[in-house]
């Protein structure tokens, strides 16, 4: 794994993309601190361009394409936020983006892809169908694959969120990020341990999609469960690339029940007055419920996005 991104590559990615993205704010709340018994800092990637952190990795990958590659365009498969982000990143450089989306992707995420000019192909909601459809499009168009997480350019880009976060709040004791395919968590862990070696890095995932937790416990990638979870952004599974980073740099994986996800989402909306999607609430829950031994500590929480159907809220 000697060639995996290190913190210098994340710094380079940040220099490359910083004019293409927002430097998102960090919010705090006394009442949430009281609940957690800790000082919580929320990095608001729901305010990021496209409504999620994904533009960081996508714009870094697109920035590294040659002119010849740009003319052929890019392709990816994604349940949502990476799809919109890659469409936006490609459009910013005048390139086409072919997007393979599982048929159960939220309508709001499909509309976002369309709004950014992405060309959607729907497929069955399995990893196999996603990969096959993307390969077919690559063969037909010559487009360059920008995988949502199994890609060093993407991992380096996602790591820029933690890099910024530690500039904004240098003395964090913990940093929490969601884990799905592991791109954000890998980038977060590399950046955080690179800048602040003593920091504790915690990945957070739904109990109903706990393959990262099981894989790290077993020491090898474990198959995904059915992954029936409200956190629609967290249904992917680790790649060998991200698994290797997680084994080396992540201290703990916390798992969150569906009820805990909804409760955390609600309390974030009520107290921070911000709209975050369920996948972001997954990351706040372990700190709010005092499940990671962070009492009395300074805890950084990356709120990954804010894209969701307001017609299908789990409240009321």
Among 41, 47, 149, 243, binds a second copy (CB under 8 A): 47
The crossing angle, in degrees rounded to 10, of helices 152-168 and 183-195 is 50
Q: Return the SS3 of 119.
A: strand
Among 227, 275, 294, 299, binds a second copy (CB under 8 A): 275
312/279 Cα distance (integer angstroms): 15
Contacts of 29 (CB under 8 A, 6+ apart): 40, 42, 271, 272
- Least distance from a second copy to the Cβ atom of residue 301, Å: 16
Annotated catalytic residue within 79, 87, 180, 279 = 79
CA distances from 120 to 30, 56, 202 (A): 43, 21, 34
Task: Tell me the per-residue interface mask from 61 to 100 with a second copy, x by CB under 8 A, - otherwise.
Answer: ----------------------------------------
Among 8, 15, 23, 25, binds a second copy (CB under 8 A): 25
Among 124, 167, 270, 295, binds a second copy (CB under 8 A): 270
Is position 215 annotated as part of the catalytic site? no
Number of residues that bind a second copy (CB under 8 A): 21
Q: How many CB atoms lie within 10 A of CB 173?
A: 16
- The verdict on 118 binding a second copy (CB under 8 A) reads no
What letter does residue 316 receive in the DSSP assignment? -
Beta-bridged to residue 206, according to DSSP, are: 256
- The verdict on 312 binding a second copy (CB under 8 A) reads yes
Task: Tell me the per-residue interface mask from 161 to 200 with a second copy, x by CB under 8 A, - otherwise.
Answer: ----------------------------------------
Complex with a second copy: residue 108 or 129, whichever CB lies closer: 108
Q: Are the C-beta atoms of 122 and 128 separated by less than 8 Å?
A: no
Complex with a second copy: residue 47 or 98, whichever CB lies closer: 47
52/80 Cα distance (integer angstroms): 10
Complex with a second copy: residue 51 or 203, whichever CB lies closer: 51
By CB under 8 A, the residues from 49 to 68 that bind a second copy are 51
76/100 Cα distance (integer angstroms): 6
Is position 220 annotated as part of the catalytic site? no
Q: Which of 77, 84, 79, 29 has its CA nearest to residue 52?
A: 84
- The verdict on 107 binding a second copy (CB under 8 A) reads no
- The verdict on 313 binding a second copy (CB under 8 A) reads yes
What letter does residue 207 receive in the DSSP assignment? G
Among 9, 46, 188, 242, binds a second copy (CB under 8 A): 46
Annotated catalytic residue within 54, 96, 109, 193 = 54
Which strand (E) or helix (H) includes residue 10?
helix 7-17
**Tokens at residue 160, please?**
């820029």
Binding site for a second copy (CB under 8 A): 25, 27, 44, 46-47, 51, 108, 266, 269-270, 273-276, 306, 310-313, 315-316
Residues marked active site are found at 54, 79
């Amino acid at each position: 794994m000697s060639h995996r991104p290190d913190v210098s590559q994340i710094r380079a990615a940040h220099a490359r993309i910083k004019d293409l993205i927002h430097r998102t704010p960090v919010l705090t709340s006394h009442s949430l601190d009281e609940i957690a018994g800790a000082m919580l800092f929320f990095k608001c990637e729901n305010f990021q361009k496209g409504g999620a952190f994904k533009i960081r990795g996508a714009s870094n990958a697109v920035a590294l394409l040659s002119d010849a590659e740009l003319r052929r365009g890019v392709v990816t498969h994604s349940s949502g936020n990476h799809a919109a982000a890659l469409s936006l990143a490609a459009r910013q450089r005048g390139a086409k983006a072919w997007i393979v989306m599982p048929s159960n992707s939220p309508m709001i995420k499909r509309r976002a892809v369309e709004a950014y000019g992405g060309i959607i192909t729907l497929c069955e909601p399995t990893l196999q169908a996603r990969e096959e459809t993307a390969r077919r499009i690559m063969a037909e168009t010559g487009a360059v694959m920008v995988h949502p997480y199994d890609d060093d350019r993407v991992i380096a880009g996602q790591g820029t969120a933690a890099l910024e976060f530690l500039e904004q709040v240098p003395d964090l004791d913990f940093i929490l990020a969601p884990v799905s395919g592991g791109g954000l968590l890998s980038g977060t862990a590399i950046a955080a341990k690179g800048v602040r070696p003593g920091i504790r890095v915690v990945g957070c995932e739904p109990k109903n999609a706990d393959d990262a937790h099981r894989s790290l416990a077993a020491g090898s990638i474990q198959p995904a469960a059915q992954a029936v979870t409200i956190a629609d952004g967290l249904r992917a599974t680790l790649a060998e690339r991200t698994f290797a980073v997680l084994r080396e740099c992540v201290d703990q994986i916390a798992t969150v029940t569906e009820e805990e996800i909804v409760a955390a989402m609600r309390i974030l909306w009520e107290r921070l007055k911000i709209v975050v999607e369920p996948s972001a609430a997954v990351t706040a829950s372990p700190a709010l419920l005092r499940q990671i031994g962070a009492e009395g500590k300074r805890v950084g929480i990356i709120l990954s996005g804010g894209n969701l159907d307001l017609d299908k809220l789990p409240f009321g």
